Structure 1
């Protein structure tokens, strides 16, 4: 008996096994890709399931409670308006909200979980976009909680002062505040995506635009407004661009749009270890 004749039974068994596996695979339901909603939900859970994430959320809530308590003990004359509580409460909250975006984008690289994440979800840009969305959603939830605290304090303050309270102008104030918060968080997330290191991204996020707002006017006079993102945020929050639409759009493009594009590009090509 030749070697070929000996190998024929083994080849037949292998062919039969392959055909059987193909038939079984054909009977299986089609594999569904991961939905974007699932990715966003996963990123949201990852943002609140870490110690640093919980500490950050508690710090934001503590700042809001402190601001409300401070305002209640420093009531002035006249009716209490929404801005009396919302303004001081949102100041500290706005300062820390962008850190949510930074931590969302840098968690895979700083915690060395990128290999696991991008093995389960190889489409990196899609995962990064889910991180952007989850950071915005979480920030909106946190901002809503702190805003409700401020709104609850308005009638309390009016009762304590004896001058009453009013909610006039509340809608415009909230619209400007939420839009500014979302832009601020996206900006933080963009810096995180570019730098991929939590500490470095936070430092650069706070120092770079602040340095420009201080040095820009001294170097470029009124032309510094074209890159002043804080001025752009202020005009958006006040719902009044003061005829500076081109300057506002340019500042947002330089500090938010371009870093976002660069961050998505860098994340899609960064080496996974």
Structure 2
């Protein structure tokens, strides 16, 4: 055996030694993915403008509520309800954009190359949308508390804080469900403008046309009524209707959106 016969084996042996010496590659943790998705939502001009608009609308609604106090008494629930209007209207838009940005901004190839498990990334997007809704809602709740206390001092009136825990639980749960529904529409459609349009028009169209066509049976698909009952912490004996509406408008689009995102062509 000559030296030339054994020479090719040396580079292969060296590569094997280097490979075994390198530490094993670690995948991104789910918490890391959620943090990245939160950064995507907050590091854009549109995201920051929407959040600022929500807080400004909440402050304006609280100011209006404070100057139009009902004679029979006022409480924290009125201020929270007024302040939550902007959250329910605008915050879902961020949920839509979180799901559609990869496809409309053509960053899906980069994202899914770094994190090939698409379903995991989509779950991180849903989680980040929920976290962001909780954070924004906390800011709105703080404004509502401040508005209630300040109005009580300026108007020299005793403000009610009855059932505070139930009110907060209903508000947070309703906002989270609304954002998840918007994110689900974004996952299904993958086009920001179209998804936002469908999210606002489809449930509203049903709430208007459904009762005329199906009478009381329309409650089974009335997601606004279901969210209202959840916010009030009182289902009014309409448990099947509430669960069906949540299932059709929130759970089903979420499942379809996850399936569609996992099979959508990346360009």
Q: Number of paired residues? A: 266
> Which residue of 2 is the match for residue 104 of structure 1?
98
Within 1, Cα distance between the matches of 2:201 and 2:9?
66
Is 1:227 aligned to 2:224, yes or no? no
Q: Is 1:61–1:146's contact at 8 Å kept on the other side of the alignment?
A: yes
Q: Is 1:176–1:239's contact at 8 Å kept on the other side of the alignment?
A: yes
Q: Secondary structure at the match of 1:272?
A: coil
Q: Normalization by structure 2: what TM-score? A: 0.96
Question: Which is higher, the Rg of structure 1 or of structure 2?
Answer: 1
Within 1, Cα distance between the matches of 2:210 and 2:254?
23
Farther off after superposition, 200-209 or 166-175 = 166-175
Cα deviation for residue 213 of structure 1 reads 0.4
* Structure 1 residue runs without a partner (length 5+): none
> Which residue of 1 is the match for residue 66 of structure 2?
72
Within 2, Cα distance between the matches of 1:252 and 1:184?
10
Q: Deviations over 1:14-61 (max 9, x none)?
A: 431121111111122221111100000000011100111111111111
Q: Normalization by structure 1: what TM-score? A: 0.94
Distance 1:272 1:170, change over 3 A: same
> Which residue of 2 is the match for residue 250 of structure 1?
244
> Which residue of 1 is the match for residue 114 of structure 2?
120
Cα deviation for residue 79 of structure 1 reads 4.3
Cα deviation for residue 12 of structure 1 reads 4.4
Q: Deviations over 1:217-254 (max 9, x none)?
A: 00000000111101100110111111111111111111
Give me the CA root mean square deviation: 1.4
Cα deviation for residue 73 of structure 1 reads 2.4
Within 2, Cα distance between the matches of 1:177 and 1:95?
14
Q: Secondary structure at the match of 2:68?
A: coil
Q: Secondary structure at the match of 1:80?
A: coil
Q: Deviations over 1:145-190 (max 9, x none)?
A: 0110011111111112212223222111111111111110100000
Within 2, Cα distance between the matches of 1:170 and 1:160?
22
Q: Secondary structure at the match of 2:235?
A: coil
* Structure 2 residue runs without a partner (length 5+): none
Farther off after superposition, 15-24 or 226-235 = 15-24
